[in-house]
């Protein structure tokens, strides 16, 4: 049984809402990548489009859009997400997750991008 917490942000008013999805609805999200857009109707946002912007797994490890797949790996980072350098030019090797949603992901961040015109 897969369960995700969706954090859906609304850039117009700066608010965010948390929605918990389970079972078939959660299974439909597995395999999607950062940057993919989905219909917002099943999540309580009719006639809106939601774009996946990131997420994290059960250990709090963030997803990165430039790491392919759903794996955990150490990557040399010079900026967010996953690392915020203290000095200019500083780089560190940090553990990050790939850009694909798997069963290990707990939180998925989304943003309302545009309304559908129907």
**85 close to 91: Cβ distance less than 8 angstroms:** yes
Q: What DSSP character marks residue 43?
A: G
**Per-residue pLDDT of the chain in tens (118 residues, 90 and over written 9):** 789 999 999 998 999 999 999 988 999 999 999 999 999 899 888 888 999 999 999 999 999 999 999 899 999 999 998 899 999 999 999 999 999 999 999 999 999 987 655 5
pTM of the model: 0.88
Summarize pLDDT for 97-114 with one digit per residue, the tens. Answer: 999 999 999 999 999 987
- Buried residues in 57-81 as b, exposed as e (16+ CB within 10 A): beeebbbbeebeebeeeeeebeeeb
pLDDT value for 118? 52
User: CA–CA separation, 22 vs 88, rounded Å?
Assistant: 42
pLDDT value for 99? 94
């Amino acid at each position: 049984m897969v369960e995700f917490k969706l954090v859906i942000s609304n850039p117009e008013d700066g608010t965010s809402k948390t929605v918990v999805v389970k079972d078939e609805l959660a299974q439909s999200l597995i395999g999607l990548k950062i940057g993919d857009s989905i219909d917002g109707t099943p999540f309580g946002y009719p006639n809106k489009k939601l774009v996946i912007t990131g997420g994290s797994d059960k250990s709090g490890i963030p997803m990165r859009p430039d790491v392919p797949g759903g794996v955990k790996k150490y990557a040399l980072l010079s900026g967010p997400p996953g690392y915020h350098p203290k000095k200019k030019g500083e780089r560190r090797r940090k553990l990050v997750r790939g850009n694909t949603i798997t069963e290990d992901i707990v939180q998925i961040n989304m943003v309302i991008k545009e309304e559908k015109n129907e």
